[in-house]
Structure 1
Amino acid sequence: MLTLPILPSIVMTHAATSGLPAPKVLPLTVSHQNLLADAQAAVLKLFPEWQAEDLDLFQCKDGITNKLVRCTNRKTNLAVLIRAYGKNSELLIDRNQEVTNIRVLSQLGLCPPLYGKFNNGLVYGYVPGEVVHVSQLSDPHISRLVAHRLAEWHRVTIPGAKTAKLFVTLNQWLGEVRAVYANPSTAGTHDDPKLARFHTLFDLEALEQEMNFLRVALERINSPVVFSHNDLLSANVIYNAVDDSTNFIDHEYASYNYRGFDIGNHFAEFAGFDCDYSLYPDRATQVEWLRNYLEAERRGKDSDQAAPVTEAEVDELYQEVNKFYLASHIYWGFWAMVQASFSDIDFDYMGYARMRFDEYHRRRDELLAL
């Protein structure tokens, strides 16, 4: 089981990390076009004692970045996941950081082990349970478990400088967008109609100005820098009814970041990929979630002398989170514009980006006035 008690502090130093077992490196590629067969080949190379006839392979199709296969050995009842990176996704994701994240979190019991690396992906342990549906994010019991688990994550310390990555990442992604859409000869899957649609939907100069405007506004907030998941959508939350726990999967975007961003981004995901922002949690739902989070955070710091959480503390966090909620739209909007240039996954990234930017503009003045 992956469930842990709430701990007073969870720290992994560089020395401790260097002592972790390194994943086995496999000199092979898992093709998106030959996904199941290549995934099986990777698993058999990694676990030579396994037999092909004992394996069940299933493609998980919820993701919009990578290709994912679950492989279960019927004899041992061990399940692993084989993730083949999305095309050119290294432009968006620091794959070395991802490996560090998994190794640290695994050592702390917050995720399964990393078994192996291949040329374009990873093989790692499967988290038992059911993927949470977007409609369950507002369920009081599930939301309490998520709040408690995220408070636990936010106490993790990983190697490297403890600085927020939000605006560093946004500037990097904006640079990738400019490189592609300002130069049609750049590598990518874009064509003339795609370029025309891009220039119809987006004004890069205006978006950069909004990013800088928001940065100034958010830097006035004293949001703590914590180890953040940064992609806590419903599909990345697993509920295990056996021990009544939630665990988080997919750690490729995890980094140090602002607490307000990690929580605000989670609240944005109540809308799902359809971006139905009528589902954004109302104040009462948020207040209950935030109170659960603060109580778990306080218990983790001092379980014997945890003072009650006050209304003022909840209200302060409510304001922080809702202002950083705006940043999640800029973040995933830029991400989607980069994806639109090269991803081979069937998803309307440009349309998704436009919906994120529209919600940003719709709520900006209201939320910054809190």
Structure 2
Amino acid sequence: MIMAGPANLLSRLNSGSGNGSSRREWLLGEAYVALHTLAGSWADVLDAKNLVLKPLKGAMTNHVYECHWPQEAPPHGGVRRVLVRIYGDGCDLFFRREDEICTFERMSQLGQGPRLLARFSNGRVEEFLNARTLAAADLRNVTISSRIAMKLREFHNLDMRWPQAPKLWDRIQFWVNKALEICPSSWHEEFQLDNIKKELTQIQAWFSKFKGIVGFCHNDLQYGNIMMNETTEDVTIIDYEYASYNPIAFDIANHFCEMTADYHSETPHKLDNSKYPDYQERFQFIEAYMMSSSALSISTLRVEELLEEVESYSLMSHLHWALWGILSATFSDIDFDYLEYARQRFQSYFNVKSSLIQIDGCT
């Protein structure tokens, strides 16, 4: 849809009512000013005010839009495109936005991901990468999966110049406490939040039997956060809201769990557990991951050791996103059934826990 100015931008893109919609309209007005200023510095854009803004599907934390300017002068020969990100409500429950911006800027310094082009009060403008966002089916392609594995190993080894203490357990503990504080009491009982709070220390102690190698983890490696250049086949990992140092096994486990989702389907909140990667797919991914940093062959034993750890950390992936789901259900205005998504992840958490560990006094 073509937008000729702020008033048209707001009226045509956001026709809904309510506080969430009104607030987003105000933020889009700020985005328009940032886009106008940015394009005004580009000689190849004839009219900085004549822009096209298109909502992109699949985002569940922010509102994301593609923007381009249709009238351009030679010699650019193409279309100027940028990505506009409006931060979702309540995100301070999940991460500190300034930390995420620091991550974004550090990634740019390291030659990873898109560049930051502009910022406004609750959003930013990013470089539009010359690559396609992966689809759910791409994760089952052996070649693409191996490229993702190699890129993830590179990601885990990035020097972020930060303290490298894992954030997983503190984050989950914080989210459990917030859920008990702000979620309806009926949810406390349904999702056994009190029991989960009590058993977290014991669960963490159980995980101490693993090597727990720590790296800089993405923590949200679903297909929509992976892009691939069709010409070079280079893979880029994007969107770093949840990124932090963590056990690498958690990051890989989370990626495997994400293979059960299709956020662009008619029912994006529903997971299909039959799509969880089988043993061969998981083995091949971890083998590619391990071999990407070594010229030597990797033994089957070493792959299986990491695979066992990864399978155990699927428990924490389910709990992580189950808590995220019920917290999001309390405030988000994004069209996604967070509560039903949370129910599925909680059920998977309880199923996996029963097969892995027994916590005395807890169901």
TM-score tier by shorter-chain length is 0.7 to 0.9
Q: For the aligned residues, what is the CA RMSD?
A: 2.0
The residue that corresponds to 2:266 in the other structure is none
Q: Please give the alpha-carbon distance, in whole angstroms, between the structure 1 residues aligned to 2:161 and 2:127.
A: 22
- For structure 1, the residue ranges without an aligned partner over 5 or more in a row are 1-29, 182-194, 299-305
Q: Please give the alpha-carbon distance, in whole angstroms, between the structure 2 residues aligned to 1:117 and 1:362.
A: 43
Matched, 1:253 2:242: yes
Counterpart of 1:334 (choices 311, 315, 323) is 323
C-alpha deviation, 1:196, in angstroms: 6.2
Q: What per-residue deviation string (whole Å, max 9, x for no partner) do you get for residues 317-364 of structure 1?
A: 100111111100111111112111111112221211111011122222
Relative contact order, higher structure (CA 8 A, sep 6+):
1
Q: Please give the alpha-carbon distance, in whole angstroms, between the structure 2 residues aligned to 1:257 and 1:98.
A: 15
- Do 1:237 and 1:249's aligned partners in 2 also have CA atoms closer than 8 Å? yes
The residue that corresponds to 2:111 in the other structure is 109
Query: What secondary structure does 2:114 align onto?
Result: coil
Query: What secondary structure does 2:92 align onto?
Result: helix
The one-letter code matched in structure 2 to 1:358 is Q
Q: For structure 1, which segment, 204-213 or 282-291, has the greater mean C-alpha deviation from structure 2 after superposition? A: 204-213
Q: Please give the alpha-carbon distance, in whole angstroms, between the structure 2 residues aligned to 1:365 and 1:307.
A: 38
- Judged with a 3 Å threshold, the aligned counterparts in structure 2 of structure 1 residues 196 and 209 are, in CA distance, closer, same or farther, namely closer
- Judged with a 3 Å threshold, the aligned counterparts in structure 2 of structure 1 residues 366 and 203 are, in CA distance, closer, same or farther, namely closer
Query: What secondary structure does 1:251 align onto?
Result: coil
Normalized against structure 1, the TM-score is what? 0.81
Matched, 1:204 2:200: no
Matched, 1:43 2:32: no
- Do 2:150 and 2:288's aligned partners in 1 also have CA atoms closer than 8 Å? yes
The one-letter code matched in structure 2 to 1:69 is Y
- Do 1:56 and 1:73's aligned partners in 2 also have CA atoms closer than 8 Å? yes
- Do 2:40 and 2:48's aligned partners in 1 also have CA atoms closer than 8 Å? no
- Do 1:150 and 1:293's aligned partners in 2 also have CA atoms closer than 8 Å? yes
- Do 1:39 and 1:69's aligned partners in 2 also have CA atoms closer than 8 Å? no
- Judged with a 3 Å threshold, the aligned counterparts in structure 2 of structure 1 residues 278 and 212 are, in CA distance, closer, same or farther, namely farther
Counterpart of 1:57 (choices 53, 67, 85) is 53
The residue that corresponds to 1:291 in the other structure is 287
- Judged with a 3 Å threshold, the aligned counterparts in structure 2 of structure 1 residues 361 and 202 are, in CA distance, closer, same or farther, namely closer
- Do 2:31 and 2:120's aligned partners in 1 also have CA atoms closer than 8 Å? no
Q: Please give the alpha-carbon distance, in whole angstroms, between the structure 2 residues aligned to 1:338 and 1:157.
A: 32
C-alpha deviation, 1:39, in angstroms: 2.9
Counterpart of 1:277 (choices 256, 273, 280) is 273
The one-letter code matched in structure 2 to 1:43 is L
Q: Please give the alpha-carbon distance, in whole angstroms, between the structure 1 residues aligned to 2:357 and 2:129.
A: 38
Counterpart of 1:87 (choices 83, 86, 89) is 89
The one-letter code matched in structure 1 to 2:244 is S
Counterpart of 1:138 (choices 140, 145, 162) is 140
- For structure 2, the residue ranges without an aligned partner over 5 or more in a row are 1-21, 262-268, 359-363
Q: Please give the alpha-carbon distance, in whole angstroms, between the structure 2 residues aligned to 1:265 and 1:156.
A: 19
Matched, 1:364 2:353: yes
- Judged with a 3 Å threshold, the aligned counterparts in structure 2 of structure 1 residues 36 and 60 are, in CA distance, closer, same or farther, namely farther
- Do 1:36 and 1:69's aligned partners in 2 also have CA atoms closer than 8 Å? no
Identity within the alignment, %? 31
Counterpart of 2:251 (choices 235, 258, 262) is 262
The one-letter code matched in structure 2 to 1:297 is S
Q: Please give the alpha-carbon distance, in whole angstroms, between the structure 1 residues aligned to 2:350 and 2:147.
A: 32
Counterpart of 2:223 (choices 219, 234, 254) is 234
The residue that corresponds to 2:209 in the other structure is 220
Normalized against structure 2, the TM-score is what? 0.83
- Judged with a 3 Å threshold, the aligned counterparts in structure 2 of structure 1 residues 355 and 156 are, in CA distance, closer, same or farther, namely same
Counterpart of 2:314 (choices 318, 325, 340) is 325
C-alpha deviation, 1:232, in angstroms: 0.3
